[in-house]
Amino acid sequence: MVAGERYDLATGEVLAFPGSVPHSYQNADIKRAARGVSIVIFAKTGV
């Protein structure tokens, strides 16, 4: 969920959002394991 909205991603899909936005991760499929990668990029304001 990002800012209260749910996103269902398929293999290979990407979701980008500002880290300051409330977010969480959840695997809704109890039969299949999920794997995720999180990349955080810090940037100065105005750059």
pLDDT tens digits, 27-46: 988 999 988 899 998 888 77
Please count the CA atoms within 13 angstroms of the CA of 41 that sit on its side-chain side.
6
Question: Above 80 in pLDDT, residue 47?
Answer: no
Name the domain count of the chain. Answer: 1
Which residues lie closer than 8 Å to 33 by C-beta, 6 or more apart?
Answer: 27
Q: What is the mean pLDDT of the chain?
A: 89
Does the pTM of the predicted model rise above 0.75?
no
Domain that holds residue 31: 1-47
Beta-bridged to residue 2, according to DSSP, are 5, 23
The pLDDT of residue 24 is above 80: yes
